[in-house]
Amino acid sequence: EVQLVESGGGLVKPGGSLRLSCAASGFIFSSYYMYWVRQAPGKGPEWVSCISTSSSYTYYADSVKGRFTISRDNAKNSLYLQMTGLRAEDTAIYYCARDRRQYQPENWFDLWGQGTLVTVSS
Amino acid sequence: DIQMTQSPSSLSASVGDRVTITCRATQDISSWLAWYQQKPGKAPKSLIYAASSLQSGVPSRFSGSVSGTGFTLTISSLQPEDFATYYCQQYHSFPLTFGGGTKVDLK
């Protein structure tokens, strides 16, 4: 089955760190650009970060630049998001998502995980 | 950054109604626009890409179009499973941005 499964969310204090993981299965993970998209409670989705197939290129939203790091391990079919300096406004469900097209990205998402909740609160 | 504005933010409709949702961008994004459907507690699901192309497996009652500076998502005959929130997303350039959403509920 083609799927993405996130893990690693939880409750963390402001200023703390967390590492999210996304396990991919059922498709050739190494062929796709991958993304993290988050959604704060009651809000619309917000793109967070993107990584190219070979990790050569990474992109970040200004709101997380310098605090979050996206990475991937193609041998383990896994995507990661290392989050540091967490703030209350980072509270959201974090989804990993796949680009619709192999190798040459289109930058929209045809496959999403179920999401993992990150809560930043003292 | 390109801002995406959806209207209305919510609407009430009945089964069988024709529903139209509009999305506008603050600059020209050509046809680099996708539409998603999201139900409570679930991840978004892709419906339309390239403004008017139907994603595989999506019912043909969903359609997308470009009109002037705006984009439209139309549901030709609303079905019970279509009650949800709909979002547009531009992928013309980074940062990728979404509209604020349109919630479709039962009249």
- Residue A46, pLDDT score: 98
Between CA B2 and CA A116 the distance in angstroms is 27
pLDDT class of A49 with cuts at 50, 70, 90: very high
A61 to chain B, any CB pair closer than 8 A? The answer is yes
pLDDT class of A97 with cuts at 50, 70, 90: very high
- Residue B67, pLDDT score: 80
| DSSP secondary structure letter of residue B96 | P
Residues of B with a Cβ under 8 Å from any A Cβ are: 32, 34, 36, 42-46, 49, 55, 87, 89, 91, 94-101
Please state, for a pLDDT cut of 70, what percent of chain A lies above it: 100
Characterize the bridge pairing of strands A109-112 and B53-54.
Answer: unpaired
| DSSP secondary structure letter of residue A13 | -
Q: Is the pLDDT of residue A67 over 90?
A: yes
How many H helices and E strands in chain B? 0, 11
Partners of A45 on chain B (C-beta within 8 Å) are 36, 44, 87, 89, 98
The pLDDT of A91-116, averaged and rounded, is 96
| DSSP secondary structure letter of residue A102 | S
The pLDDT of A50-69, averaged and rounded, is 98
Nearest to B98 by CA among B86, B81, B82, B84: B86
- Work out the angle at residue A97's Cα, subtended by the Cα atoms of residues A21 and A38, and round it to the nearest 5 degrees: 75
pLDDT class of A117 with cuts at 50, 70, 90: very high
Tokens 């961008």 found at: B25
Between CA A40 and CA A22 the distance in angstroms is 19
Rounded to the nearest 10°, the torsion over CA B90, B95, B98, B99 is -90
Low-confidence ranges of chain B (pLDDT < 70): 69
Instruction: Compute the nearest-CA separation of B74 from chain A (Å).
Output: 20
Q: What H or E segment, with its residue span, contains residue A26?
A: none
Largest CA distance in chain A: 42
Instruction: Compute the nearest-CA separation of B42 from chain A (Å).
Output: 7
The pLDDT of A38-42, averaged and rounded, is 96
CB A33 within 8 Å of CB A105? yes
| Residue A16 tokens, joined | 């703390």
Indicate the average pLDDT of chain A. 97
